[in-house]
Amino acid sequence: MRQFVTIAINAFMELVRQPVFLLLMSTSAVFEIFLATPYYFAFGDEPKLVKNSTLAVMLLAGLLGAVLSASASLAREIRAGTALAVLSKPVSRMQFLLAKYAGLIVALALLTYVNLVAALLASRMAFDAYGSTDLFALGLFLLSLVLAYLLGGFSNFFLRRPFVSDAVFGLLVMVTVAFVVISFFDQHGAPRAFAEGVDWKLIPAAVLILFALWILAGLALACSTRFDMIPTLMICSALFLLGIMSDYLFGRRAEPVWRHDLTEEVNSSRWTESQRTLLRELVGKYDKDRNGKLEPAERDSMSVEDQRRLAQAGMGGNWWASVLYTVTPNWQLFWLADAVAEGKSTFNWGYVGKAFAYMAAYVGAVLTAAILLFHERELS
């Protein structure tokens, strides 16, 4: 256990000392704040547009951070030979890999935290067509970034400490202080109730994004056991895009047709004429109110015999789609930006708990594959 903690801490410190990590953390936070400054003329949906955009920036910044950090944490050490030096001591490959992952997810948590604070501040700064840019909050936030860099430079020059890591921790503290101070004032600098206008529903949405980033980190770490940074980035980007479209590509084909709206499936081009004829027959049979649609209660009343007829006609779901839908990470489960719109929030922390269970199961499977790949990797 002592070796695990030591490797995890060293992996974490190595990541926060990467200049690209500091650059990614700073630019993503600044860009989120910038999203709340221009006029959008979105017919009253400006706050929703700002919140959705900040969550998108948070996700994309985490994607780059996960891939770059995984490559720096593992692929570069394998290439440089330092991994072999560590494994020559009484440290197993599984322990080494899991410790690297632990350090990686803590670094991603820091990145997400800074982006979350910026997103909360952006939700407070967002305004409609009748408002104006919150220059007071913008100035204090940019000042906090400058102070964080100055603290890093001070510790580097006078204390001979690493600039990047001290700037990262300084940014963590100064952004938090700036958010607390700004929350006590309005855009004109007048005192008001704390955090008035801040959308706290962004917190569970950001936690879900963090779960998605931990899955991406596991995938990136598994790829880093065999590939360098560019191939890892390409593979993770492809899996990211595939996971976004998994509901469309595999989800509908994996489920039996009777779980969907049969009135829409009648006109679907993926069925043959004989299959559409059967669908029309069943729609007419179970459409009790004769409104041309099958309500959920009407679909649930379908008999087992008719479900068997649909399955025999090739509409009971494809096994290959079920396999691909299970293997592919479904990022839509972690993207609930629409639910944070004003008056439309329906998800709660119970859903976050279910998403955590999905994340834990998927990360466990990915890390198992990563351990097997790393176990067979020759180190030189």
Alpha helices in the chain (DSSP H): 2-16, 19-34, 46-70, 76-80, 82-87, 93-125, 135-158, 163-183, 202-224, 229-244, 246, 252-254, 262-265, 273-286, 296-300, 304-310, 319-327, 349-375
Same domain, 232 and 264: no
Same domain, 87 and 231: yes
Residue % of the chain over a pLDDT of 90: 40
Q: Taking every pair of C-alpha atoms in the chain, what is the biggest distance, in angstroms?
A: 82
Half-sphere exposure of 93 (CA within 13 A, CB side): 17
Q: CA geometry: angle at 64 spanning 367 and 46, to 5°?
A: 120
How many independent structural domains does the chain possess? 2
Q: Is the pLDDT of residue 345 over 60?
A: no
* pLDDT score, position 42: 64
Q: CA geometry: angle at 125 spanning 120 and 129, to 5°?
A: 135
Residue 337 belongs to some domain of the structure:
no
Same domain, 118 and 158: yes
| Average of per-residue pLDDT values in the chain | 86
Give tens-digit pLDDT for 69-85. 888 888 788 777 777 77
Q: Is the pLDDT of residue 350 over 90?
A: no
Residue 336 belongs to some domain of the structure:
no
* pLDDT score, position 144: 95
* Residue bearing the bigger pLDDT, 76 or 65: 65
Q: What is the mean pLDDT of residues 302-331?
A: 82
Stated pTM of the model? 0.86
Q: Are 339 and 347 in contact (CB under 8 A)?
A: yes
Alpha-carbon dihedral angle through residues 206, 207, 213, 215, given to the nearest 10 degrees: -150
Residue 307 belongs to some domain of the structure:
yes
Residue 134 belongs to some domain of the structure:
yes
Residue 324 belongs to some domain of the structure:
no
- Which structural domain range is residue 309 located in? 256-316
Q: Confidence band (pLDDT; 50, 70, 90) for 2?
A: confident
* pLDDT score, position 196: 87
Q: Is the pLDDT of residue 347 over 70?
A: no
Q: Confidence band (pLDDT; 50, 70, 90) for 340?
A: low
Give tens-digit pLDDT for 120-156. 999 998 887 677 888 999 999 999 999 999 999 999 9
Same domain, 148 and 289: no
* pLDDT score, position 283: 77
Which one of 274, 298, 316 terminates a domain? 316
Q: What is the mean pLDDT of residues 78-96?
A: 80
Same domain, 188 and 279: no
Give tens-digit pLDDT for 178-209. 999 999 998 888 898 888 888 888 998 999 99
* pLDDT score, position 170: 95
Q: Is the pLDDT of residue 230 over 80?
A: yes
